[in-house]
């Protein structure tokens, strides 16, 4: 696939194709594929090993270090290599050229690979056994400004990293993250397209606005008052593709969500979007397990399938959350029975309430490692985020308990409690009493906080190198609306099908209907969710109109489609940014996105969003409503 | 990768995972990969052949025909198969179920494959040697409404097709188009990622507005007056990725362009976006040739590489256009010399002008096939689109010429003209005199119009089944602005590097500088364009500031990046929609896009764009400027 320049027919002389090789000394690498194909280099820096000794190589890269005019460390995406600067008089000019180099300048070096002398090998460097004796040097570009050094150990502020993202991306960690992401996605495509017959279909991002879709960006069109919107997911399109008989669809779909300044969210993000016809939930789940196994990076801990599966009810009961991190215990335990005869008034009151309970978690060695201010912090979280009290009990060596409530607890209760919680000396018990809907999420939250606090004290709780996948299933199809609890809203979205044996309850007790929904959780993060969809038009209409009290005319095209021979179908969407960030162990999804926005939605490099003059808005028939007072706050550097 | 349901551990009974197989009779196909993996079907309709005779199969699909209660033709994406309805008394119920079926209903049929009786085989059907004897039927969904029949021969209006796109996509042509596109893209990714070490990097689509970027959609942010814009290409990001040392980037990039109602344009489109470091133009061109060869559909005429290469000047000279369709001749011929002593006043006047010329094309058999109204049409095109006169000369059998100018042309001139044009009896000559910049595009246009007219009369001119790729190179780097000809603008974009030997002319005669730009043309359509970029900050600044008279501070982040060790780099972008439409022979790119917009930018299915209430615009600090009078025009059905 590489064609020597002189075989290329050009209809006129003096074109770029006849001059280039002559004027710039460019040549093609002899390899017709690989990382140096079609390039002016012959090899990458990082690939050189003993096997190249004696070969002449041409390298292109950045000057990482220049040491005492003796050698240069050259860097490209693949790694570092040592280039020896010749010192004999015949190479005087070459030596001078090297010594004038500035760090991060871009050079082309030709030279011969040789073994480093014994004693000078560097086993910490993949190319540490060899060096390249420079024979020629071409400075391709200089580097004149550098707001920070391109060294992995140099700490930079997030704002500076974002402003100079093109420098930040030179770090080996960011190169690794972006390349791992690319490889992962490529393997996913191979699995879906080549192994399972999926069709990669692009769907529009200029779509119709969902009425009341407060999180949708609007895009003014050239028609007055008419707006597109940037969809939060291709949900309608993927279903319509199934109605269209496309059978198996997937897309790495760009999605948009305007959420203001939520931490670690991005206004645009990517999901692995999948939909299949003639499949059930078990089929989709097996597909995804296979997908992740197939595409899983080889240098990471292996994952085994099938993934464990937990009901929503079990997750809430044992972990107080619908996305449990199953890498560690500290499960919630209901100790209502233990306290049923308690003298402690507020505990008794709580139990007597309908849905009231006493629950606890046991933090192993918590009493040993957590300090008074940690307990205060936990109590503070309980109060501010859940409007709840929590009691911290330190289990002492002799089995006694240190707690404000300690003296109010009978010995039998105490022993029963310790037994039930499998608590040992040095453990910490966190106990809360109240309505189950509040106590569970509270203890679920405190469980995670305790893990973090312990890790902060050097106690390993969650192994960052293991990957615990978990399916959560049997979600309720509807939940009470937060502001009008007598009204139901979809737990996920209105297109999720009810469980077949619950379908009759739609018409009588819709709040009891479970959905054919499945969430995929990894190390306590929800990384995917999907469902079998409603494919019956009448059922979809009933759900929209009678249960959700929505205007079905807004979805008339979908309802018509379901009435036109819609196959049974279902799908899933995986959050790619989050998945990759967990795999590489990044603390933020910003570290797996080439050009992320700041938490305020700003691009700190190009300064987007920016002011647009009124006259440039005129074609869109909009004008800016300037608020009377400006509120400051900005995260630009 | 398929796990039997009973090995799945669920933490609670009565979940979807324990009931599904029991209640719905669903099962997994025994294949762990392929088009029926993880599905409730065992085979696709279209894959059944003699080799399946005797096997029990489960098919899912749509009822295509129902014939006299004897058999059903079942359709899925893979094709059609005949299902025999049993007629013995023991299958009474099954027979009744079949006879109640409506066309386009969705069914699951289990049955045994058998050879059709001799004489009943249908060799026009890929499954025409076999049929499936139905043993059970499950109606998965009914079809109640159908605005048009799903038969390939039923003609539908474009508006109806768009409104019911989910039905339109059921046609075998649209299924073919979308699947071919998906396969093509997959092969491209394999070539780039797996063979040449490219990294698939997603770049933002919420970006900073280009000042004066009239074709950029704006997206209001939550900050008053501040807007993102949807970029026309990831040009800046791909270059910044090179500065970041990413080395080889590609992306199937969604791009946006607000062009109002241009025919066969879409407000969002997809480009195969590529950028490489340490490469020259020849390298990029070889890469693209390899890319297209590797990914080219097997069922299409093969393409060979290297592709021919033509300079911009040669293209304009011979074809009157910078994207010549080289599938046919009818090249432009300069006949100024022939007419240098002409008596025809306006011809003489034209020649005398600076840059004046007489040029002609010879349309073989044009006089034979084209009618008087065709000539009138060509003259009309010349007048309205080019403000030029064109003379149509019919070459008669005896070598005489029929033309309004005929009697003004001397015999020697006539003979010289016929010789120079290689014109034969029955040919048509189109001659125009005037400034070269006008005559060339005019004749280039008429050349294409003549091809179309001849094809309309049944004369084959352009073979639709062959693929003529062509590189066009040596473009001028700058062109005079249309409205202020003394001012220069970029022929392509301001980041294209000058040809090295022309670089010194930047400072003296910038209009003479040629760029390191290359356009890829396929059958007369520009399907790609790229260049080697400016990687020197000072040169880029000079071009922006002194030649283009632009405010360089708007691109300060790019200029800073070039000053921070930018490698030499270049790239290309291929228009995927157009490329696929030419490969499949579609008349419009709408036929290779799942959910395209109408030529007015409307989604006729969901009715986007749509009105958004003022209160929902308030978070974005914008309000609608309603024009005083509404101008109607709408393409909604």
Contact B167 A244 (CB under 8 A): yes
Nearest CA in chain B to A240: B166
The whole-angstrom distance between residue A624's C-alpha and the CA centroid of its chain comes to 35
Higher pLDDT pick, A201 / A15:
A201
Interface test with chain B among A44, A225, A296, A563, by most B beta carbons within 10 Å: A225
pLDDT in tens, B208-226: 988 777 789 999 999 999 9
Residues A192 and A276 in one domain: yes
Residues A53 and A134 in one domain: yes
B residues 233-252 closer than 8 Å to A (CB): 236-237, 240-241, 243-248, 252
Residue B397: exposure state from Cβ atoms within 10 A (0-12, 13-18, ≥19): exposed
Residue B97: is its pLDDT beyond 60? yes
Residues A399 and A445 in one domain: yes
Identify the top-confidence range among A257-271, A621-635, B324-338. B324-338
Residue B124: exposure state from Cβ atoms within 10 A (0-12, 13-18, ≥19): exposed
Confidence (pLDDT) at B228: 97
Residue A149: is its pLDDT beyond 90? no
Confidence (pLDDT) at A24: 36
Contact A200 B185 (CB under 8 A): yes
Residue A453: is its pLDDT beyond 80? yes
Higher pLDDT pick, A32 / A249:
A249
Of A33, A19, A23, A170, the closest CA to residue A106 belongs to A170
User: Could you give the CA distance from residue B78 to residue B72 in angstroms, rounded to a whole number?
Assistant: 16
Nearest CA in chain B to A191: B33
Confidence (pLDDT) at B261: 66
User: Could you give the CA distance from residue B14 to residue A502 in angstroms, rounded to a whole number?
Assistant: 11
Say yes or no: A460 contacts chain B, CB-CB below 8 A: no
Confidence (pLDDT) at A629: 58
Contact B609 A228 (CB under 8 A): yes
Identify the top-confidence range among A410-424, A610-624, B332-346, B571-585. B571-585
Q: How confident is the model at residue A151 (pLDDT cuts 50, 70, 90)?
A: confident
Dihedral sign of CA atoms B572, B576, B578, B580 in order: positive
Contact B622 A623 (CB under 8 A): yes
Among A27-41, A153-167, A253-267, B180-194, which stretch is predicted with the lowest mean pLDDT?
Answer: A27-41
Residues A548 and A486 in one domain: yes
Residues A406 and A377 in one domain: yes
Q: What mean pLDDT do residues B343-348 have?
A: 86
How far does A379 lie from chain B, in Å, by closest CA?
32
Say yes or no: B405 contacts chain A, CB-CB below 8 A: no
- The residue among A83, A117, A141 that closes a domain is A141
Residues B91 and B54 in one domain: yes
Using a CB-CB distance cutoff of 8 angstroms, which residues of chain A are in contact with residue B202? 252, 254, 270, 593-594
Residue A211: is its pLDDT beyond 90? no
Contact B77 A619 (CB under 8 A): no
Would you say residue B316 lies in a domain?
no
Q: Do B340 and B351 meet the contact criterion of CB atoms below 8 Å apart?
A: yes
Using a CB-CB distance cutoff of 8 angstroms, which residues of chain A are in contact with residue B326? none
pLDDT in tens, A152-166: 777 888 899 999 999
User: Could you give the CA distance from residue B430 to residue B450 in angstroms, rounded to a whole number?
Assistant: 10
Residues A412 and A442 in one domain: yes
Q: How confident is the model at residue A31 (pLDDT cuts 50, 70, 90)?
A: low
ipTM summary value: 0.93
Among A159-173, A175-189, B260-274, B591-605, which stretch is predicted with the lowest mean pLDDT?
Answer: B260-274
B residues 124-153 closer than 8 Å to A (CB): 140-146
From A26, A603, A610, residue closest to B204, measured CB to CB: A603
pLDDT in tens, A585-602: 999 999 999 999 998 999
Contact B621 A625 (CB under 8 A): yes
To which H or E segment does residue A453 belong?
Answer: helix A436-456
Nearest CA in chain A to B216: A616
Give pairs for A628-633: CB < 8 Å, separation 24+. A630/B224, A633/A600
Residues A303 and A202 in one domain: yes
Contact B20 A280 (CB under 8 A): yes
Would you say residue A155 lies in a domain?
no
Of A509, A618, A526, A631, the closest CA to residue A573 belongs to A526
Confidence (pLDDT) at B494: 95
- The residue among B121, B141, B161 that closes a domain is B141
Q: What mean pLDDT do residues B104-108 have?
A: 97
Using a CB-CB distance cutoff of 8 angstroms, which residues of chain B are in contact with residue A277? 60
- The residue among B552, B568, B583 that closes a domain is B583
Using a CB-CB distance cutoff of 8 angstroms, which residues of chain B are in contact with residue A245? 62, 75-77, 169-170, 175
Higher pLDDT pick, B270 / A400:
B270
Q: What mean pLDDT do residues B445-474 have?
A: 97
Would you say residue B214 lies in a domain?
yes
How far does B422 lie from chain A, in Å, by closest CA?
21
Q: Left if phi > 0, otherwise alpha if psi is -120 to 50, otherwise beta: which for A633? A: left
Q: What mean pLDDT do residues B409-437 have?
A: 93
Q: What is the DSSP letter of B190?
A: I
Of B231, B32, B81, the closest CA to residue A268 belongs to B231
pLDDT in tens, B523-555: 999 999 999 999 999 999 999 999 999 999 989
Say yes or no: B108 contacts chain A, CB-CB below 8 A: yes
Interface test with chain B among A204, A269, A497, by most B beta carbons within 10 Å: A204
> B12 CB contacts (<8 Å, ≥6 apart)?
A310, A311, A313, A314, A474
Would you say residue A541 lies in a domain?
yes
Q: How confident is the model at residue A482 (pLDDT cuts 50, 70, 90)?
A: confident
Q: What mean pLDDT do residues A84-111 have?
A: 93
A474 pairs with which residues across the strands?
Answer: none
Confidence (pLDDT) at B381: 96
**Residue written as token pair 């606090």:** A453
Residues A414 and A506 in one domain: no
What CATH number has the domain bearing residue A79? 2.40.50.140
Residues A346 and A425 in one domain: yes
Residue B470: is its pLDDT beyond 70? yes
Contact A625 B166 (CB under 8 A): no
Say yes or no: B533 contacts chain A, CB-CB below 8 A: no
Nearest CA in chain A to B237: A595
Say yes or no: B218 contacts chain A, CB-CB below 8 A: yes
Would you say residue A25 lies in a domain?
no
Contact A278 B60 (CB under 8 A): yes
Nearest CA in chain B to A218: B219
Confidence (pLDDT) at B31: 53
Number of CB pairs < 8 Å for A and B? 550
Residue B70 has which token pair? 């004897």
pLDDT in tens, B606-616: 999 999 999 99
Using a CB-CB distance cutoff of 8 angstroms, which residues of chain A are in contact with residue B501? 19, 23
pLDDT in tens, B12-64: 444 444 433 333 333 444 457 899 999 999 999 999 999 999 999 999 999 99
Confidence (pLDDT) at A261: 67
Residues B53 and B81 in one domain: yes
Per-residue DSSP letters for B53-115?
Answer: TT-EEEEEEEEEEEETTTEEEEEETTEEEEEEPP-SGGGHHHHHHHHT--TT-EEEEEEEEEE
Using a CB-CB distance cutoff of 8 angstroms, which residues of chain A are in contact with residue B15? 309, 311, 473-474
Higher pLDDT pick, B351 / B569:
B569
How far does B234 lie from chain A, in Å, by closest CA?
11
Q: What mean pLDDT do residues B241-263 have?
A: 92
Nearest CA in chain B to A253: B254
Residues B478 and B559 in one domain: yes
Using a CB-CB distance cutoff of 8 angstroms, which residues of chain A are in contact with residue B625? 224, 618, 621-623
What CATH number has the domain bearing residue B543? 3.30.930.10
Say yes or no: B603 contacts chain A, CB-CB below 8 A: yes
Contact A199 B178 (CB under 8 A): yes
Would you say residue B5 lies in a domain?
no
User: Could you give the CA distance from residue B204 to residue B253 in angstroms, rounded to a whole number?
Assistant: 10
From B203, B474, B621, residue closest to A624, measured CB to CB: B621
Number of domains in chain A: 3
Using a CB-CB distance cutoff of 8 angstroms, which residues of chain B are in contact with residue A294? 1
Residue A231: is its pLDDT beyond 80? yes
Name the packing angle between helices B372-386 and B436-456 (round to 10°).
150
What CATH number has the domain bearing residue B354? 3.30.1360.30
Residue B602 has which token pair? 């409307």
Would you say residue B152 lies in a domain?
no
To which H or E segment does residue A240 belong?
Answer: helix A235-243
B residues 337-396 closer than 8 Å to A (CB): none
Would you say residue B484 lies in a domain?
yes
Residue-range definition of the domain harbouring residue A92:
45-141
**Residue written as token pair 């409530």:** A405
């Amino acid at each position: 696939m590489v064609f020597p320049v002189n075989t290329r027919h050009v209809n006129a002389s003096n074109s770029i194709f006849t001059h280039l090789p002559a004027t710039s000394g460019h040549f093609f690498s002899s390899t017709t594929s690989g990382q140096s194909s079609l390039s002016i280099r012959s090899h990458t820096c990082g690939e050189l090993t003993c096997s190249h000794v004696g070969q002449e190589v041409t390298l292109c890269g950045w000057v990482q270090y220049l040491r005492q005019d003796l050698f240069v460390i050259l860097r490209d995406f693949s790694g570092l290599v040592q280039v020896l600067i010749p010192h004999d008089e015949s190479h005087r000019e070459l030596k001078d050229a090297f010594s004038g180099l500035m760090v991060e300048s871009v050079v082309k070096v030709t030279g011969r690979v040789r073994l480093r002398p014994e004693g000078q090998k560097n086993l910490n460097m993949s190319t540490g056994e060899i060096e390249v004796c420079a024979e020629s040097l071409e400075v391709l570009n200089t580097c004149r400004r550098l707001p920070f050094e391109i060294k992995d150990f140099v700490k930079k502020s997030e704002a500076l990293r974002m402003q100079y993202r093109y420098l930040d991306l030179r770090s080996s960690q960011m190169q690794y993250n972006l390349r791992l992401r690319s490889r992962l996605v490529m393997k996913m495509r191979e699995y879906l397209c080549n192994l399972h017959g999926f069709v990669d279909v692009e769907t529009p991002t200029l779509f119709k606005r969902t009425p009341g879709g407060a999180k949708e960006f609007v895009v003014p069109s050239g028609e007055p008052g008419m707006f597109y919107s940037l969809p939060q997911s291709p949900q309608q399109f993927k279903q319509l593709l199934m109605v269209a008989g496309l059978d198996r669809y997937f897309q790495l779909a760009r999605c948009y969500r305007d959420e203001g300044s939520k931490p670690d969210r991005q206004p645009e993000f990517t999901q692995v979007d999948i939909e299949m016809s003639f499949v059930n939930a078990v089929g989709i789940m097996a597909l995804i397990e296979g997908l992740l196994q197939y595409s899983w990076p080889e240098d990471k801990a292996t994952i085994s399938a099938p993934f464990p599966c937990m009901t929503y009810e079990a997750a809430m009961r044992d972990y107080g959350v619908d996305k449990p991190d199953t890498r560690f215990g500290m499960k919630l335990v209901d100790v209502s029975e233990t306290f049923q005869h308690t003298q402690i008034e507020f505990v008794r009151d709580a139990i007597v309430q309908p849905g009231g309970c006493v629950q606890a978690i046991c933090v192993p060695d918590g009493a040993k490692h957590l300090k008074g201010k940690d307990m205060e912090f936990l109590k503070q979280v309980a109060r501010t985020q859940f409007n709840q009290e929590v009691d911290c009990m330190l289990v002492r060596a002799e089995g006694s308990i240190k707690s404000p409530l300690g003296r109010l607890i009978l010995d039998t209760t105490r022993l029963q409690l310790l037994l039930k919680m499998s608590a040992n000396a040095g453990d910490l018990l966190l106990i809360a009493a109240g309505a189950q809907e509040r106590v569970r999420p509270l203890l679920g939250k405190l469980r995670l906080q305790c893990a973090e606090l312990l890790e902060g004290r050097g106690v390993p709780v969650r192994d960052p190198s293991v990957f615990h996948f978990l399916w959560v299933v049997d979600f309720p199809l509807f939940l009470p609306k937060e502001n009008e609890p007598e009204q139901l809203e979809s737990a996920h979205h209105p297109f999720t099908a009810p469980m077949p044996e619950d379908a009759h309850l739609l018409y009588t007790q819709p709040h009891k209907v479970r959905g054919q929904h499945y969430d995929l959780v990894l190390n306590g993060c929800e990384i995917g969710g999907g469902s079998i969809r409603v494919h019956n038009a009448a059922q979809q209409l009933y759900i929209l109109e009678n249960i959700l009290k929505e205007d079905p005319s807004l979805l008339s095209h979908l309802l018509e489609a379901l009435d036109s021979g819609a196959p049974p179908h279902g799908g899933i969407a995986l959050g790619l940014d989050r998945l990759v960030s967990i795999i590489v162990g990044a603390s933020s999804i910003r570290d797996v996105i080439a050009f992320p926005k700041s938490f305020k939605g700003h691009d700190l490099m190009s300064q987007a969003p920016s002011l647009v003059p009124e006259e440039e808005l005129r074609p869109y028939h909009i004008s800016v409503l300037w608020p009377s007072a400006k509120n400051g706050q900005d995260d630009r550097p």
